[in-house]
Structure 1
């Protein structure tokens, strides 16, 4: 028997050890095996061919059958290297295409049958109306691929099956109605806790999926520029995995519980999790096909010429349906999560210091309000008897008025106690005196200096104002200008949902993601959703 030596393509380096030699298969024997393993799939192909122009009823039984048969046949062909063989390549690609599009069609029909149970919130677009159009597009490709498979199989001298399925073989006529729901609901103390975890995890998964929204802002003629970055099989599979986990979490811990029975938002959220998950499954399959079989030009051109899987229309259908609708339901379900969190919230209070650098300026206020809005809960911040809406950055800015008033009181007391006042000479320049007093306060850790040298102008002491008042006026000017700041801990009290408070505490412990000089520091891993 002859042998073939496998080597790394394009690498003749002797530093790479040669791979083990693989004997060439007896193609006559292989064709016998493939004929047997392909008989069921080719039977469907012949069945489609016999129908001619008659419409095909794509039922879940026939699609599941095609997908299963194509899966096992693809594995067999790959085991013998069909993808790297010029004679077998086209047949292998057709099998892979049949597997992909039957899988997508099955999932679309699953969504179609499940829509009444999903209780999806209304959106501006007609999802139910677009579903049949997407299914028709996918099944048109599937039918074309299956019809072309017969002559290609004959060209390989594969035996065609003698037994051909009939229309009745894959009937999906179902009786209406459902079985009585007569099982008792479960009472479990953890169901409510899991419901909160589900809503929180959905919001985190939605934040991880924000990159998908670029598709809603991109014209269809530019979709190709999004592949593979930011929209690619890898990134889509990562978010698909998260929503699959959410569905499993619900079905394991919340389904059939009394918590589910008393909160109508929970089954509705389950429906949104499911439809998003299935749309992401579909997008993974279609984008995988686009990347591997279209974008990289691996698919035989004759398939693309005869079947409706050309670049632009295929990608447009893929993005406009599976990805864009996933984005729309992601957005609409956020309010559901907020309602669930508000219903099951445990209210608490924490005290934390205000941001060390200039109080609640833009960055800290924005981060605090972003955390509150992420959970959709009502959280207030209290300072010196005044209450602020922590979900609005502009409201937090106002707290600086009281923070700065406290700093002015502090600096007045510190200046009055410093020996540098009594050491001043009557003929001393005011700027020199201010600089000396501020440096003295800094050495005693009462103030922090942000700009060196201090921008203090030379000036004569005014005779009509006490020297201490002149010093304070100039120091307050430096304070307002952000050239110095008063050290000391002003504390605020946040009240609201404990989940929000936990994240606000993490933010405060990280210095509100700033150092003492206002430079940005990394966002803690626990608050990674703020990066998006």
Structure 2
């Protein structure tokens, strides 16, 4: 039977797996390193080298070794901060292509976030070098220089010679994507806020109300939305083509990258900085990390920058999404009876409005010469007053054919109630109303 284990010793392998990682740390620590040292290429190198080193250390039990635990935790810190700051750098690089108004304050806040994370990496690098020396890990004989980590931007652009105009795209894909954007924005609304959180408020918010699991779930939803857009609507970049569609993509793209960054920073905070009742070695290392990466400032950038602007751009993109949706939906009309015997009081009005809100497209309730917004409970109840006064038995709904189909189903069960006004079970097609 072949021996599955390599004959190279642990000490030699840890030197090999630490080599490029330590070269990055030496480069960051070097006083001669220029201010523009932090590029996506450097972050990428930090991510890849720290991940393979962390895997190596975990395989050999560093999580349970008092001697090696700090080195392992510093490695994890570098990885998660680098993943987060890579996303933030990407946002700032792409701002010139995002078709979003009034971004100057967002740019300033983004640069402040970038600087905080870069400073944290600068704080960590010399500590990592010292810890490696304590563990007798040999320093690399060569070093990186600025030429190894150029930025991705130049003053040139490649010739635009592939037409990605969406003129032939199937409207149902646009309708689906605009509807999903509105749905995600609505589900994100409870997280919205208008004033920065103070330190105590952030401590109460994370992780009880805002946490890595929650943010990663939204990240996946927005990522799926962006993937569907790029696959079924427009393949190309931001520069040319249908401006409305590309502007909508800008909104959910910027939200996606903010959520990516938040997920990494929340993971680091919850796993490595948040007080979880540990003692002894774990607590000492946690305190050490907190002295290098300020937990309060980390949460400020995660919540008062990341969460705030994710909410802001989801909310401000709603108007454009509705506009695109209503330009592309298939429209029709239906004539249905009114709720027997109580008319459009609160329950049936609410159920009709929920159907319209669920699909996001425009639907109007037509009563004679008057039109009412069927997404508004109040508007439907105003219509109900007119219906009752004029003793009308049937009304017409006009607009989004998807919503109309479900309103017809709802009308078929007397809008979810019996003639005494008590609720009755809804058909399976309307399960989303529960």
If the length of structure 2 is used for normalisation, what is the TM-score?
0.86
Residue aligning to 1:464: none
CA distance, structure 1, for counterparts of residue 47 and residue 427 of structure 2:
44
> Once the 2 structures are TM-superposed, how far is the Cα of residue 163 of structure 1 from its aligned partner?
1.1
Moved more, 67-76 or 188-197: 188-197
Residue aligning to 1:264: 243
CA distance, structure 2, for counterparts of residue 250 and residue 169 of structure 1:
35
CA distance, structure 2, for counterparts of residue 524 and residue 56 of structure 1:
61
Matched, 1:237 2:237: no
Matched, 1:153 2:132: yes
CA distance, structure 2, for counterparts of residue 42 and residue 34 of structure 1:
11
Which secondary structure state, in structure 1, belongs to the residue aligned with residue 336 of structure 2? strand
Matched, 1:497 2:382: no
Residue aligning to 2:293: 308
Larger radius of gyration: 1
> Once the 2 structures are TM-superposed, how far is the Cα of residue 328 of structure 1 from its aligned partner?
0.2
Q: Runs of 5+ in structure 2 lacking a partner?
A: 277-281
**Number of equivalenced pairs:** 422
Residue aligning to 1:326: 310
Residue aligning to 1:183: 162
CA contact (8 A) 1:341 1:375 kept: no
Aligned residue runs from structure 1 range 94-243, under 5 A: 94-122=74-102, 126-172=105-151, 174-185=153-164, 190-213=169-192, 219-243=198-222
CA distance, structure 1, for counterparts of residue 86 and residue 325 of structure 2:
35
Give a deviation string over 1:309-338, Cα, whole Å, max 9, x none.
Answer: 23x222122101111100000001001111
Give a deviation string over 1:1-48, Cα, whole Å, max 9, x none.
Answer: xxxxxxxxxxxxxxxxxxxxxxxx999922211110110001111223
Matched, 1:380 2:367: no
CA contact (8 A) 2:338 2:395 kept: yes
CA contact (8 A) 1:94 1:146 kept: no
CA distance, structure 1, for counterparts of residue 137 and residue 260 of structure 2:
33
> Once the 2 structures are TM-superposed, how far is the Cα of residue 59 of structure 1 from its aligned partner?
0.8
CA distance, structure 2, for counterparts of residue 393 and residue 383 of structure 1:
15
CA contact (8 A) 2:172 2:329 kept: no
Give a deviation string over 1:473-502, Cα, whole Å, max 9, x none.
Answer: xxxxxxxxxxxxxxxxx4422011213323
Q: Which structure's relative contact order is higher, taking Cα pairs within 8 Å and 6+ residues apart? A: 2
CA contact (8 A) 1:63 1:106 kept: yes
CA contact (8 A) 1:351 1:492 kept: yes
CA contact (8 A) 2:197 2:304 kept: no
CA contact (8 A) 1:236 1:280 kept: yes
Moved more, 519-528 or 509-518: 519-528
Which secondary structure state, in structure 2, belongs to the residue aligned with residue 51 of structure 1? coil
CA distance, structure 2, for counterparts of residue 151 and residue 58 of structure 1:
22
Which secondary structure state, in structure 2, belongs to the residue aligned with residue 388 of structure 1? strand
RMSD: 3.2
Residue aligning to 2:382: 398
If the length of structure 1 is used for normalisation, what is the TM-score?
0.71
Matched, 1:284 2:187: no
Q: Runs of 5+ in structure 1 lacking a partner?
A: 1-24, 410-489
Residue aligning to 2:227: 248
Residue aligning to 1:341: 325
CA distance, structure 2, for counterparts of residue 236 and residue 283 of structure 1:
7
